[in-house]
Amino acid sequence: MGKQKIHVAVILMACLIVMSGAMVDCSSKTGRGSNDKYFQVTRIIDGDTFYIDDGTEKGCKVRLAGIDAPESRKTDTEDVQYYSKESTLYLARLTLGRFVRLEYDVQHYDRYGRTVAYVFLRDGTFVNAELIKQGCAVVMTVPPNVKYADLFIKQQKNARKRKAGLWGEIIE
């Protein structure tokens, strides 16, 4: 009986190690909050999600913190949203093939296991804020990740006043 308990405990421990390894993906490789590590953007998913080359075969999926871009794909619950193509193209023009630095807030992952980060180009461009400023995304802060909430709200107010991007008139 004692050997069975030890065997079960070993299996459980192995499962925990494997599961925690899956959540470490790019944060461990990027050095969590490291201000000097840059990674090349390899693929754009939509206006707020992309992949970086973190040295793994698949790469690391990054979701931009504090913002939400229009959905570019039809799902079970949502249709393709207005300004989604433009938002995705803007993120691609801004980042694809370029090197970015990830900055983390309190939580490093969202409920889907994606790395959540504030993203900066080498020239200092704050990608998350730039998307809001250009009207390609809206503010969506998820506590406790609220580090730049005030800046994002200010950028969104200005974008709305200027009728930038998705705040412009819809012509059908």
* Residues belonging to the active site: 63, 71, 114
- CA–CA gap between residue 60 and residue 57 (Å, rounded): 9
- CA–CA gap between residue 120 and residue 122 (Å, rounded): 7
Say if residue 108 is exposed, middle or buried (CB neighbours under 10 Å; 0-12, 13-18, 19+): buried
Q: In the numeric block, which tokens belong to residue 91? A: 């993120």
